[in-house]
Amino acid sequence: MALISLSRRLRRTPFSDGVEAAGVKGYTVYNRMRLPTVFRSIEEDYRHLKNAVQVWDVSCERQVELRGPDAARLMQMLTPRDLRNMVPGQCFYVPIVDETGGMLNDPVAVKLAEDRWWISIADSDLLLWVKGIAFGYRLDVLVTEPDVSPLAIQGPKSDDLMARVFGDKVRDVRFFRFGWFEFMGRNLVIARSGYSKQGGFEIYVEGSDIGMPLWNALMEAGKDLDVHAGCPNLIERIEGGLLSYGNDMTEDNTPHECGLGRFCNTNTAIGCVGRDALLRVAKEGPVKQIRPVEIHGSPVPPCGDLWPVMDGNLHVGNISSAAWSPDFNTNVAIGMIRMTHWNVGTEVDVITPEGIRPASVFEAFWQ
């Protein structure tokens, strides 16, 4: 196990003081920013997430802000998802593709107004792509990274905790919708969303200065709810089939390979960069696709790179994420599997760093 060497380049967040005080034990780096990975242990954090409520520093979900008369046009250029019926107050999960249809990011678009959007990004400098497109097309739009850092509240007691700090009206926010709520005189976007299947909210904290006051208010208000600092949990997110850009998909993959075809309206998303490239795959379907995979036997080691999926000597796919699930008493995994082997129940072998393991394509994610 190696240490992480921290420097300014791996950016601190408005909540780093709270994260450190809570005894963070491990980090990853996401959008050149610190993202905690474990507080007590991955298993203990997992159990607690499913039973109580956690506060997550997900500042690394940076925002790309589009502002100006061409904001909506630019937003539609970025994604094959048709955005015409999206209204302010909604969040859309939007695959972002390049001119070849390769995934550049899988963010959540937040429509603040017709001429103002946030793109809450996964791990790539999407800002540079959006700025490049806006500049190249001479669009009348300002593209920036604002001082907005999401703080996620996740777990079954999220509604109770949030109501204590923001009032009961926050309970009425519907899934992938957002409302405006006041804290310390600021109006904050709060969406019912988050990178777990346990329910909860994401607070788009605008202004770093109120980061720690909000963190402390939530911790104070949730004492009897057993609130604890947490973070996206490896086991829980694999169980729930929550994909991770950079892990389960890269710029090599089309949205269809990632199982995101339902978020693509390639025919009607007029102006989308990469539309031509995607039309054929939208019609024919991909030749490999993301699948839940069960790896049999004892707990697998940490998955730090692709693990080949084999049928004898035939390379039929790769595992990109895997972990032992205490609740399902098996190894849960996410893999990209060729169509010859992607049917439910197909038996395959997985080459792990600790040897070959039998595995099978599972029927659905485990949530």
Q: Which two tokens stand for residue 86?
A: 């999206």
Selected binder of a copy of itself within 172, 224, 284, 305 (CB under 8 A): 305
Q: Does 129 bind a copy of itself (CB under 8 A)?
A: yes
Q: Between the CA of residue 357 and those of 194, 322, 353, 354, 366, what are the distances in Å? A: 33, 13, 10, 9, 20
Q: Between the CA of residue 130 and those of 83, 117, 268, what are the distances in Å? A: 17, 12, 21
What does the alpha-carbon distance between residue 278 and residue 275 come to, in Å, rounded to a whole number? 5
Binding mask 249-288 for a copy of itself (x = CB under 8 A): ------------------------x---------------
Q: How far is the CB of 136 from a copy of itself (least distance, A)?
A: 1
Q: Does 10 bind a copy of itself (CB under 8 A)?
A: yes
Q: Does 38 bind a copy of itself (CB under 8 A)?
A: yes
What does the alpha-carbon distance between residue 216 and residue 294 come to, in Å, rounded to a whole number? 40
Amino acid identity, position 351: I
Nearer to a copy of itself, 4 or 344 (CB): 4
The annotation places the binding site for substrate at: 202
Q: Does 354 bind a copy of itself (CB under 8 A)?
A: no
Piece of the chain touching a copy of itself by CB under 8 A; list 50-58, 110-118, 282-290, 302-310: 302-310
Piece of the chain touching a copy of itself by CB under 8 A; list 157-165, 192-200, 244-252, 281-289: 244-252
Q: Does 124 bind a copy of itself (CB under 8 A)?
A: yes
Nearer to a copy of itself, 158 or 254 (CB): 254
Selected binder of a copy of itself within 58, 75, 133, 282 (CB under 8 A): 133
| Contact yes or no for 196/108 (Cβ under 8 A) | no
The annotation places the binding site at: 202
What does the alpha-carbon distance between residue 218 and residue 200 come to, in Å, rounded to a whole number? 14
Piece of the chain touching a copy of itself by CB under 8 A; list 2-10, 44-52, 182-190, 256-264: 2-10
Residue of 263, 246, 241 whose CA lies nearest to 78? 263
Residue of 299, 355, 332, 114 whose CA lies nearest to 233? 332
Q: Does 113 bind a copy of itself (CB under 8 A)?
A: no
Q: Does 37 bind a copy of itself (CB under 8 A)?
A: yes
- The partner residues of 55 in beta bridges, in order of sequence, read 153, 229
Q: Does 24 bind a copy of itself (CB under 8 A)?
A: yes
Q: Left if phi > 0, otherwise alpha if psi is -120 to 50, otherwise beta: which for 317?
A: left
Q: Between the CA of residue 205 and those of 114, 147, 167, 214, what are the distances in Å? A: 21, 8, 17, 9
Selected binder of a copy of itself within 119, 303, 337, 348 (CB under 8 A): 303
Number of residues that bind a copy of itself (CB under 8 A): 50
**Rounded to 5°, angle at Cα 244 from 54 and 226:** 5
Q: Does 333 bind a copy of itself (CB under 8 A)?
A: no
Q: Does 87 bind a copy of itself (CB under 8 A)?
A: no
DSSP states of 146-171? -SEEEEEEESTTHHHHHHHHH-GGGG
User: Binding residues for a copy of itself, per CB under 8 A?
Assistant: 1-10, 12, 24-30, 32, 37-38, 98-99, 104, 123-126, 128-137, 244-247, 273, 302-306, 320-321
